[in-house]
Amino acid sequence: MNVFTSIGRSARLCLFAAVATIAVPASAQQVPQPVIPQPQTIIPAAPQLAASSWILMDANSGRILAEHNSDERLPPASLTKLMTAYLVERELDRGTINLTDMINISENAWRTGGSKMFIEVGDQVSVDNLLHGIIIVSGNDASVAMAEHLAGGETPFADLMNQHATRLGMDNTNFQNATGLPGDNHYSTAHDMARLSQHIINDYPEHYEIYSERTFSFGGIDQPNRNRLLWRDPSVDGLKTGWTTEAGFCLVSSAKRDDMRLISVVMGTTSDEARAQETQKLLSYGFRFFETMKLYERGAVLATPRVWGGDINELRVGVDEEVFMTLPRNRNEELRARLNLDPDLQAPIAIGDEVGTLEVHLGDDVVGERRLVALENVEEGGLFKRLFDQVQRFFNGLISNFTD
């Protein structure tokens, strides 16, 4: 069964979940509703930046709005620490560690060169302070201390980092350490860093506020966050800077305006000021010409198709994740949703079983696709119910063939 329905701005409130609950005869399928013309925003080409690689992504929909060499493998410098922090946050979420846990500082961690949080050998420092030191002041010493605590050393921690990079779809990334200090086979891409940032924001939002903090004080030493945009743009609230001679100046930023959150990654610029300016160009472009809409909530009922041979006759069908779409501004009235449902659903069916697909169309283009799943279990009906449904299916098939 295919069902088309329109999506307007009212989707933010009602999520148009009930539109597809009525079966549509074959002769009436795929009939779009009238489109109300709206003034369209003319979308210019994305800005060209003075950088080796960049990308602009919507944090909710995952749509890429601009990119250049975004899959080129480059040294990520301290952007590496995004994965280090992510794994700390993951363990906090799992309950294997707590923010108040005290970590012994080894000589190896203390001796690590580059940017520092200035922890001392033999000190006991809380996970909370180490996480702040990693994120805000890019402490290499803090990163090594956490790697040693979580995995017993930096080498096994790097292996853990790579396993999670694979899990997150970071196909062009390989980590050799927890800090981003140069390594012969230590690389990532703008695209992969955007993916990782999306998970940091969405997977563990309770820790995300740290990325917006402008300063961190430890041991009587005050240090600023090196992300200049935290002072310049009130919508920017993260994420991480990086610099080495090999990598140049890099910046991963995120900004939220109204209901839209963007992630930008800029790699290989020539100065601290340049990475801030080039990032601002990307963010301004995204917010000016695009908007993101939430179309469906997780678990919203989008259709109730017939199910055969079950203990109930209709199955509640929907999506198992929130559905966001990013599109050019002033074109939301052109959105249409199409439900492609399995025409012959048979019991038993379990919650989460795929029963079709949801297509979102903008004009003539498909701009998004999600799987439709069963939102409830359907057990097999009794013998009489199954026999009755078989007879009904048979006659329904005859009628359908006759009308076609």
- Mean pLDDT check: name the lowest of 14-28, 50-64, 184-198, 291-305: 14-28
Distance from C-alpha of 204 to C-alpha of 197, rounded to nearest angstrom:
11
Confidence of residue 365 (pLDDT cuts 50, 70, 90): confident
Residues 97-151: tens digit of each pLDDT: 999 999 999 999 999 999 999 999 999 999 999 999 999 999 999 999 999 999 9
In the numeric block, the tokens 């605590």 are attached to 149
Give residue 385's identity as a one-letter amino acid code: K
Which two structure tokens, joined as six digits, stand for 345?
Answer: 């659903």
Phi, psi of 245 (to 5 degrees): -60, -40
Handedness of CA 192, 196, 197, 203 (dihedral sign): positive
Taking the C-alpha atoms of residue 197 and residue 236, their distance in angstroms, rounded to an integer, is 14
Where on the phi/psi map is residue 153: left (φ > 0), alpha (ψ -120 to 50), or beta? Answer: left
Q: Strand pairing partners for 255?
A: 236, 262
Tell me the one-letter amino acid at 302: L
Domains of the chain, earliest start first: 2-38+294-403 (2.60.410.10), 53-207+228-269 (3.40.710.10)
CA distances from 315 to 26, 179, 277, 342, 383 (A): 20, 51, 52, 12, 20
d(CA 297, CA 279): 31
Q: What angle do CA 263, 269, 270 make, to 5 degrees?
A: 150
pLDDT band at 177 (very low <50, low <70, confident <90, very high): very high
Quote the tokens at residue 205: 């939002």
Question: pLDDT value at position 397?
Answer: 59
**Considering the chain, what percentage of its residues have pLDDT values greater than 90?**
72
> Would you please indicate which residues are annotated as catalytic (active-site) residues?
78, 81, 138
Mean per-residue pLDDT for 278-298? 95
Least confident of 8-22, 94-108, 232-246, 282-296: 8-22
Q: Which distant-in-sequence residues (6+ apart) come within 8 Å of 372 by Cβ?
A: 302, 303, 317, 318, 319, 339, 340, 341, 354, 355, 356, 357, 358
pLDDT value at residue 391: 62
Q: What is the pLDDT of residue 244?
A: 97
In this predicted structure, the answer to whether residue 221 has a pLDDT above a threshold of 50 is: yes
CB 56 within 8 A of CB 66: yes
Residues 296-353 pLDDT 10s: 999 989 999 988 888 888 899 999 999 999 999 988 888 888 999 988 888 899 999 9
pLDDT of 20 strictly over 60:
no
Of 343 and 387, more confident: 343
Identify the pLDDT of residue 43. 86
Q: Which residues partner with 369 through β-bridges? A: 359
Average pLDDT, the chain: 87
Question: What's at 20, amino acid-wise?
Answer: A
Per-residue pLDDT at 182 exceeds 50: yes
Structure tokens at 211: 């990325």
Read off the pLDDT of residues 244-265 as tens digits, 9 standing for 90 and up. Answer: 999 999 999 999 999 999 999 9
Q: For residue 278, which phi and psi values (nearest 5 degrees)?
A: -65, -35
User: pLDDT-derived band of residue 381, with 50, 70 and 90 as boundaries?
Assistant: low
Model pTM score: 0.84
Question: In this structure, what token pair is assigned to residue 31?
Answer: 């009939």
Determine the pLDDT at residue 332.
Answer: 80
Lowest mean pLDDT across 48-57, 89-98, 124-133, 351-360: 351-360
What is the pLDDT, as a whole number, of residue 401? 53
Q: Dump pLDDT digits (tens) for 55-67.
A: 999 999 999 999 9
